[in-house]
Structure 1
Amino acid sequence: MDLNLESLGFTKEELQERVIARICTQLLDGVGYDEDDNEFTTASQFHRQMRTSIKEKIEATINAIAEREVLPNVASYIENLTLQETNRWGEKTGEKVTFIEYLTRRAEAYMQEKVNFDGKSKEENGNGYSWSGTQTRITHLVHQHLHYSIENAMKDAMKIANSAIATGIQETVKTKLAEISTTLKVGVTSK
């Protein structure tokens, strides 16, 4: 009986693939096999350095491809992205809109949403029983900004006025004390 690869059930290519896979496993994973084909680890310094080098090379290659192929096209992807509303079963129900249209609509809806005096919508308020939408969110934000600006301006004006009043009172007191001291006559009598 003549022994060759075909009689053992292997082709030359299959044997090459197995040998390469075994070598790669031993080099990259630090895994070895004994004569009974039991796996054991041999994570030597070489294995660890090889794994680190390969990992760094893979990350560098992925980053280079992303920089070259993906990043220049991100703006185009976002501008050309179309969204369509679906129901809970994933069936398309609404019209297709671009991402920019969707973003614009959401911003408009957010700014035009009715809010209470705290600037909270009915959903944000939690309980809908005592909620009263008296104004839009944009109106609330404008009022809030104006209130803040006016309050700060009034505080500054009060500081200036208080400083001027304090200076005026101090000067008046000094003047009156000087007048009083000149009109007072101090006399000493002894008995």
Structure 2
Amino acid sequence: MNERCEWCGTDPIYVKYHDEEWGVPEYDGRALWEKLVLDGFQAGLSWITILKKRDAFRDGFNGFDPNQVAEFGENDIQRLLKNEGIVRHRGKIEAAIKGARAWQSIESDIGFSSYLWNFVDGRPIQNQFHLREQVPTQTPLSVMISKDLKKRGFNFCGPTIVYAFMEACGLVNDHQTTCPRHADVQKLAR
């Protein structure tokens, strides 16, 4: 049986995201930060909401350049709070700015990509789930990463958000084994 993961349904935006992005190992530190920020904005909302607003987020956050976002101040916060194209939540906006500063610290120390990939010894975890119900919402590893991110200055990165981030960025391959992308994504691991 070769069926897509159940969660993506038939919405063309979700299907494209599933087929082209979700689970693909991401090694670019800036792109990883963008995905972590977007997962934080997703808290309490559906991922499709974020996907539909992603271009507006990219515009509002200067292409998710963490060095630029780290310099954001109150005027930028006010500008973003008026931007109807994004999720206008002051706490999440402030968390993105604070996270950009934390990213800079990690990036200058060991590199944000290396920092994250070190948690999985540089290789994606290859799960073998057949059913959606088997996929966890968090794991002991996502709890550990969440705690470390928070210690380093990140917010809106609880264990469930971190696990969704790990799935999205390919730190873990949670495509169902019945999905053709499971094997495809597995081959993309370095």
Bigger Rg over Cα: 1
Richer in strand (by share):
1
Place the TM-score, normalised by the shorter chain, in its bin: under 0.3
Q: TM-score of the superposition, structure 1-length normalised? A: 0.16
Structure showing greater relative contact order (alpha-carbon pairs closer than 8 Å, 6 or more residues apart): 2
